[in-house]
């Protein structure tokens, strides 16, 4: 049986950047499409792992904080 695909929506903040930047959005978000996983929990785990990997590669010096993660139906 093939694993299902999920859409995982991550909402996050960048507190230091937002504090220093007038007019910055209060939250940012990103949706991962087509995450193949055996369960909703695994889909969330894969998306969050990719989120942090991408953050490390961005070379941005400020902190990112995940506020919430949801599976989109």
Q: 36: domain range?
A: 5-72
Return the number of other C-beta atoms located less than 10 Å from residue 10's C-beta: 20
Residues 7-66: tens digit of each pLDDT = 999 999 999 999 999 999 999 999 999 999 999 999 999 999 999 999 999 888 889 999
The total number of structural domains in the chain stands at: 1
Selection from 48, 50, 42 nearest residue 69 by Cα = 48
Collapsing DSSP to helix, strand or coil, 72 comes out as: strand
pTM of the model: 0.90
């Amino acid at each position: 049986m093939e694993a299902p695909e999920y859409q995982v929506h991550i909402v996050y903040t960048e507190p230091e950047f937002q504090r220093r930047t007038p007019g910055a959005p209060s939250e940012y978000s990103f949706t991962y499409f087509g995450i193949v996983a055996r369960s909703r929990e695994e889909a969330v785990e894969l998306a969050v792992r990719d989120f942090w990997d991408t953050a490390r590669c961005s070379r941005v010096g400020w902190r990112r904080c995940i506020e919430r993660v949801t599976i989109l139906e």
